[in-house]
Amino acid sequence: MSDLALKTKAVHDTTAEKIEVLTFEIGGETFALEAAIVREILDLMPEAIVPGSRPFVNAVINFRGKVIPLADIRVAMGMPMTATTIDSRIVVVELDLDGTPSLVGLRADRVNEVTSLSKAGGEPPPRVGLKWPPQFIECLIHREGTFVIFPDLEAIFASKGHTRQQA
Amino acid sequence: METSTVIRMHPNLCVSDAHASYSIISESIRGFSSIKLSIPHDATVDLSFLQIIEAARLRANEQGKSLSLLEPASGELRRVLDRSGLMTAATISDRSFWLHEETTQ
Amino acid sequence: MTASILTVDDSVSVRMTTRIALTGAGYKVTEAVDGLDGLNKARATRFDLVVTDLNMPNMDGLRMIEELRRLPNQIGVPILFLTTESDATLKGRAKAAGATGWLVKPFEPDQLIREHRLDDRALVDAVFRALHTLKGSGAMFGFDRLAAFTHHCETAFDRVRKGLAEATPGLVSAVLEARDHMRALVEDPSGDHAAEERYLLERLEAAVSGAAATSVASISETPIKAAASTMPTTWRIKFSLPENSFVNGTNPLSFLDELRAMGECRVLLDKSALPPLEKLEPTALYFHWEVTLTTDRGRADIEDVFLFVMDDMTLEIAALSSDTPSVEVVPSVTENADMPTPVVTVAPLPEPSAPEAATRPVTDAADPKLRRKAESVRVPAERLDELMDRVGELVIVQSRLQQIAANSADIGLRTVSEEMERLCSELRVTMMVLRMVPVATLFDRYRRLVHDLQRDTGKKIELSTDGESTEMDKTVIERLADPLVHLVRNAADHGLEDGDARRASGKPEAGSIRLSARQTGGEVIISVTDDGRGIDRARVRAKAEAAGLIQPGATIADQDLLQLIFQPGFSTASSVTNLSGRGVGMDVVKKAIESLHGSIDLTSRPGEGSTVSLRIPLTLAIIDGLLVRVGEGHYVIPLPAVEECIEISQEEDLRSRGRAFLSLRDTLVPFIRLRELFATGTKPDLYQKMVVVSTGEERVGLIVDQIIGHHQTVIKSMSKLHDDVTTFSGATILGDGSVALILDVGNLVSLGQEQEAQLRAIA
């Protein structure tokens, strides 16, 4: 899916264009991902914990006969953990990990909608005063009196520097 | 009475608008002796339109009238012609009608 | 004009997934939450496709379809329904209500797109790969002309792949013609084809530069499907569809496209049933078709095309080239002395074209040249693969049965389950044996390659091999063929010095390349060794720095530096030659080996040469494992590593606290409490079990809560995101659909050893 990655980049360059995004909630904040990378939205399902893994990707699930990792953006963002609810979903996205197209499940407290957004109105994350690590945020977009956060998945998944859980 | 006309077809030449296409074409055969059909390049076409045209060609022939395409089939019309297999056993007059291919033989 | 699609489903997950997949593919999507909502939206807007769930509140899917069919603005709209059941009566009822087709849930959103879209990137990539392999194989066996020609085709396709040119139908048909020409080249390499080649290349050029753009894109599937190696049969298919087909959203063109995708196809439209103009009902279907199709697919596959409309239509399917044998005997070209291996490897070549297939006898046993090995029945490799898949699935079902039986008091059920387990296990072993092939079949291919490499590089090269009798899974061997071509080429191209340089450094003039294979435990190690100049670290570093793979001047361990060669974007070849090809470097080798769950070791001494060792598991698919429980998680321990299982009494358990050894028949065995290692946070079971595992010399005890039993495991690889977790080598899916992780015994043993060393140091 390296061409997907290329396509995604191309969209970033032309920020004036509207893009299809999926918005979802984590810890009361609204996040958005480009719909092009979303493969499926799943209801919660049994997961297998991977002992010794980083808390950021601490489990795997059976997705159509494939074993795929389950990642939690809230860990990368340093947000507190919350219990799952009836609205909790798993958003399966396709990412380029070290040149290999890979499916990854992302935990979400709820999914909101698929909509088009223009990144033209987006602003780069402020360097100070933000409660989340700015390197993990591509941009913020003002929408209906609130912020929609575009996480930089590439940066999040590339960073292995997270505190590793000691066995 | 006017005997020659050019009919500009609308761009939806699918089954959903087949009744409209049908009545335009049959009316014009009734009213004119020479009919040229202009089909938009970007028209969406399906088999129902081919059926109407093929039936109209037969009728025109029987009545000694002339029915032709203003331009050779292109775009989706051309694709549907190929996909349908209508051109597989096409006669000289078929090829001349749809593709404006002239034979020198 | 963007097609607009209505998706009706009460599940937000399904709705959004459908929406994302379809908007991503460029469609406009409208959502409705139930039948009533769907119907209201359909009243307001005309759609090009409706996808609906069946079980919904307010108005179910069946009612909605019925109502929708009465809407004048939706005449002819195709309606697909999503169903979890394969229930025939449900399909029948939906069809009666006016549905066009169905998708079984959970459906692949891609499937939906595939059926409604012709342009396909993946297809282009697949064609490109096939061409590339064909080129390599061609050069390998002396079909130089074929290699040259394919190289040109590839150049054309490369532009498509990079998105510089569009995969137009014109290009596809040019490639199809080129394909036929390649086959001619294989059959008659010495003939004069220059004029034809020029013509074909011109056509390709024209197509790539975007000259022609007509006809059908879906026929582009042919070159890939054609790789199937069974004998094609020619069928005559006559069909007529009910008059109301259009109204019900059936599109006969899509059937024709599907038939075209199956092989060589001639579609003849029969317009004889067309009524006079004044009697014509514009929305009724009058056309019939007669299709002549040459394909390696069977009658059932052809019938499948018409599956949904089968009951209402007339369909005649007759085989023209008759007597297809029930067990197909494929000519054993491999073992024909006149023509060694080549033709088999050139497998991406298509089946013969229609007229030829029609006259050609289906069993080649009649051909005396091919008769020699007729005693054994040859089965196309893909059927063996299918069988293997089925066995894999059977193993999963069997483990489910075993679980059910274990929880049941029914003696009969338990007996059947045990019997089933035994049979499955035997079937698996038989299957494995069937698929084992000596490595010699692989090594033999490289003699010719080395011969040609001598000519192309002007270097003298001696090839030696050992361990050819080592056996491996057939699929694994096939997937090793291309990576090994790269490694051998690389050794000849970059490893070996030329004659003068060798003499100057006191080496024999002829360079040596050695291929060897040996089995250790569950792995086979295949190595390619040369006695050349060794890898120039400074050059690797310079290249890596230039390519941005490492920071200038960074300190990096020798082994890590060498591994950089396998990074994408790193290619030591400074010019593109026929040998190293374009854009296909050592990173491809690495990917291929990783996809086989193998690993690459590289050792190199300056001035003395290099060895690349590929460590490949014996088989890909299935291992025998011991299923255990630790805390709430299930884990699989590979059975070949298990020595014994011991129950640990509570006293022993208590006594062993704070220690790292248990005494086992006078020897001390280090042990690991997996519950602690995995930080389960659960209480230990009353009776702990110890599973003693070993890797040859070293042993370690793994303490688990419960031993559930023997489990045959279909291996799934772990994600790259879990690269840092070395405790597990893979994962598997259990009978109930949950995931269990497979323990990496080698790593656990060294962990045990470390722990032992630490404790000794303290003491």
**Tens of pLDDT, residues C465-489:** 888 888 888 778 888 888 898 899 8
pLDDT reported for residue C188: 57
Q: At what angle do helices C121-140 and C144-161 cross, to 10 degrees?
A: 160
Within 8 A of A54 by CB-CB distance, chain C residues are: 724
Q: Is the pLDDT of residue C141 over 50?
A: no
Average pLDDT by stretches of 10, chain A with 167 residues: 37 61 91 89 90 90 86 89 89 86 92 83 66 82 83 84 37
Q: What does DSSP assign to residue C525?
A: E
Please write the tens of the pLDDT for every residue from A15-28.
Answer: 457 888 999 999 88
**Candidates A48, A98, A167; nearest CB to C738:** A48
Closest CA to C27 of C35, C39, C19: C19
A38 neighbors A71 (Cβ within 8 angstroms): no
Q: Which of B92-96, C63-67, C578-582 has the lowest mean pLDDT?
A: C578-582
pLDDT reported for residue A160: 57
Q: Residue B43: pLDDT band by 50, 70, 90 thresholds?
A: confident
Q: Which residue has the higher pLDDT, A82 or C125?
A: A82
What mean pLDDT is reported for chain C? 72
pLDDT reported for residue C171: 63
Show which residues on chain B lie within 8 Å of chain C, measured between beta carbons.
Answer: 14-16, 18-19, 21-22, 26, 29, 42, 44, 46-48, 50-52, 54-56, 58-59, 78-80, 82-86, 88-89
How far is residue C622 from each of residues A39, C383, C681, measured CA to CA in Å? 28, 18, 32
Q: Is the pLDDT of residue C28 over 60?
A: yes
Please indicate whether, in this complex, the C-beta atoms of C721 and A69 are within 8 angstroms of each other. Answer: yes
Average pLDDT over residues C255-280: 88
Burial bucket for residue C536 (CB in 10 Å: 0-12, 13-18, 19+): middle
Please indicate whether, in this complex, the C-beta atoms of C271 and B54 are within 8 angstroms of each other. Answer: yes
Within 8 A of B19 by CB-CB distance, chain C residues are: 282-283
Within 8 A of C732 by CB-CB distance, chain A residues are: 67
Please indicate whether, in this complex, the C-beta atoms of B89 and C283 are within 8 angstroms of each other. Answer: no
What distance in Å separates residue B41's CA from the closest CA in chain C? 13
Distance (Å, whole) CA B96 – CA B90:
10
CATH superfamily placement of domain A2-158: CheA-289, Domain 4 (2.40.50.180)
Average pLDDT over residues C230-249: 81
Please write the tens of the pLDDT for every residue from C489-523.
Answer: 888 888 888 888 898 888 888 899 999 998 776 67
DSSP secondary structure of C404-445: HHHT---HHHHHHHHHHHHHHHHHHHHHHHHHEEETHHHHTH
**Candidates C13, C23, C163; nearest CB to A41:** C13
Average pLDDT over residues B41-67: 91
Closest CA to C343 of C132, C161, C182: C182
Backbone angles phi, psi at A111, to 5 degrees: -100, 140
Q: Is the ipTM of this complex over 0.90?
A: yes
C444 Cβ contact partners less than 8 Å away, ≥ 6 residues apart: C340, C341
Closest CA to C628 of C729, C712, C716, C740: C740
What distance in Å separates residue B105's CA from the closest CA in chain C? 25
Q: Which residues, in sequence order, are bridge partners of residue C692?
A: C644, C701
Domains of chain B: 4-99 (3.30.750.24)
pLDDT reported for residue C763: 61
Residue of C119, C168, C254, C283 to mutate when probing chain B, most B C-beta within 10 A: C283
Percent of chain C at pLDDT > 70 equals 66
Q: Which of C206-215, C233-242, C288-297 has the lowest mean pLDDT?
A: C206-215
Distance (Å, whole) CA A40 – CA A91:
6
Burial bucket for residue C338 (CB in 10 Å: 0-12, 13-18, 19+): exposed
Within 8 A of C251 by CB-CB distance, chain B residues are: 46-47
Q: Which residue has the higher pLDDT, C167 or B34?
A: B34
Q: Which of C127-131, C409-413, C429-433, C692-696 has the lowest mean pLDDT?
A: C127-131
Chains A and B touch (3+ CB pairs under 8 A): no
Please write the tens of the pLDDT for every residue from C171-183.
Answer: 656 666 666 666 5
Q: Residue C217: pLDDT band by 50, 70, 90 thresholds?
A: very low
Q: Which residue has the higher pLDDT, A107 or C575?
A: A107
Show which residues on chain C lie within 8 Å of chain A, measured between beta carbons.
Answer: 11-13, 16-17, 19-21, 23-24, 29, 106, 108-109, 121, 163, 568, 587, 591, 633-634, 677-680, 716-722, 724-725, 727-728, 731-733, 737-741
Q: Is the pLDDT of residue C574 over 60?
A: no
Please write the tens of the pLDDT for every residue from C710-744.
Answer: 777 777 778 888 888 888 888 888 767 789 999 98
Q: Which residues, in sequence order, are bridge partners of residue C32?
A: C8
A83 neighbors A107 (Cβ within 8 angstroms): no
Q: Residue B84: pLDDT band by 50, 70, 90 thresholds?
A: very high
Residue where the block lists tokens 């692989």: C442
pLDDT reported for residue C116: 38
pLDDT reported for residue C143: 45
Please write the tens of the pLDDT for every residue from C678-689.
Answer: 888 888 887 888
Q: Is the pLDDT of residue C107 over 80?
A: no
C175 neighbors C169 (Cβ within 8 angstroms): no
Please write the tens of the pLDDT for every residue from C335-386.
Answer: 333 333 222 222 233 333 333 333 333 333 334 443 333 356 667 766 776 7
Chains A and C touch (3+ CB pairs under 8 A): yes
Q: Which of A90-99, B56-65, C561-570 has the lowest mean pLDDT?
A: C561-570
Please write the tens of the pLDDT for every residue from C587-632.
Answer: 778 877 876 767 888 888 888 899 999 988 766 556 778 899 999 8
pLDDT reported for residue C179: 61
> Residue A14 is encoded by which pair of tokens?
């032309």
Distance (Å, whole) CA C446 – CA C579:
14
Q: Is the pLDDT of residue C538 over 50?
A: yes
Q: Which residue has the higher pLDDT, C297 or C202?
A: C297
> Residue A36 is encoded by which pair of tokens?
């092009």
C698-704/C661-664 β-pairing? unpaired
Highest mean pLDDT among C21-25, C27-31, C555-559, C674-678: C674-678
Distance (Å, whole) CA A159 – CA A76:
9
